[in-house]
Amino acid sequence: MSPIIPQEGWIVQHLFYTIDHGFWAALTPEEKVERQTIFNSTVQAIRAHPTTQLLTFSMVSPKADLGFMLLTPDLQDANRFEKELGLAFGPDVLTPCYSYLSMTEWTEYSEKEEEASERIARTENLEPGSEAHTKRVAEWKGHMDKYFSDRLYPNMPDWQVMCFYPMSKRRNVGANWYAQDFATRRDLMGGHAKTGRKFAGKIRQLITGSTGLDSHEWGVTLFAHDIFQVKTIVYEMRWDEVTTQFGEFGDFYIGIQLSAEELLQRLQLT
Ligand code: 76R
For residue 206, the CA-to-ligand 1 centroid distance in Å is: 8
Does 201 sit in the ligand 1 pocket, CB within 6 Å? no
Q: List the chain domain ranges.
A: 11-105+258-266
Assigned superfamily of 11-105+258-266: Apc35880; domain 1 (3.30.70.1030)
Instruction: Average the pLDDT over 99-111 and give the result.
Output: 96
Does 27 sit in the ligand 1 pocket, CB within 6 Å? no
Confirm if 47 and 128 have CB atoms less than 8 A apart.
no
Residue bearing the CA closest to ligand 1, atom 18: 234
Does 163 sit in the ligand 1 pocket, CB within 6 Å? no
Question: What per-residue confidence (pLDDT) applies to 126?
Answer: 96
Q: Which atom of ligand 1 is nearest to the CA of 203?
A: 43
Q: Which amino acid is it at 79?
A: N
Question: What per-residue confidence (pLDDT) applies to 140?
Answer: 97
Residues 178-204 have pLDDT tens digits of 999 999 999 999 999 999 999 999 999
Best probe residue, ligand 1, of 189, 223, 231 (max atoms within 8 Å of C-beta):
189
Does 144 sit in the ligand 1 pocket, CB within 6 Å? no
For residue 182, the CA-to-ligand 1 centroid distance in Å is: 17
d(CA 132, CA 167): 43
Instruction: Average the pLDDT over 114-120 and give the result.
Output: 95
Average pLDDT of the chain? Answer: 97
Residues 4-18 have pLDDT tens digits of 999 999 999 999 999
d(CA 235, CA 213): 27
Report pTM: 0.95
Residues 212-264 have pLDDT tens digits of 999 999 999 999 999 999 999 999 999 999 999 999 999 999 999 999 999 99
Instruction: Average the pLDDT over 20-32 and give the result.
Output: 98
